[in-house]
Amino acid sequence: MMKKILLLMCCTAMLTLFGCKANYPVAQQSGDDDIAYLLFVSTSDSRNTDIEVTVDETTRFTARTVKSRKANRRGTRYSVQPGKRKITVTKDGNTIYDRYVFLSPQETKKITLP
C-alpha cells in the first residue's frame, strides 16, 4: 500500500515538473515593430497649424500641430522609420526646427515647436 502511494506521488511530481512548458522560449510579435512616430506640439497659441516636415532631406509631408496639453489625446502621430533621423520643420517658408533625433521602434517622439 505504501509503495503504491509513493509511486503515485512520484508520478504526480514528474508530470507536474515535466508537463509545464514554462521553460520553452516564447516568441512575441506585434504588428509594426519597425515604425516610430512623430508628434508635433506647439507651445504658442497657434494650434492646428499646417507645417512642412522633411525627414532625412528626402521624405516630405504636411503635418498639423496640436497644443501641448491636448497632445496625448488629440495629436496626430506621423510614422517614420526608427533610427537617427534629421527632422526639419518649416512654417511659412521659415525653418523653425532642424535637428537630429534618435527614434526607437514603437517610440512616439514629441517635437516641441515655438
Which stretches of 44-105 are assigned E, i.e. beta strand? 50-55, 59-64, 66-67, 78-80, 83-91, 94-103
pLDDT tens digits along 13-66: 776 766 655 544 444 455 557 899 999 888 776 567 889 999 998 989 999 888
CB-hemisphere CA count at 13 Å for 84?
Answer: 1
pLDDT tens digits along 23-32: 444 444 555 5
pLDDT tens digits along 50-109: 899 999 989 899 998 888 775 566 678 899 999 999 999 999 889 999 999 999 998 889
Architecture of domain 36-113: Sandwich (2.60)
Query: Residue 31 class from Cβ within 10 Å (0-12 exposed, 13-18 middle, 19+ buried)?
Result: exposed
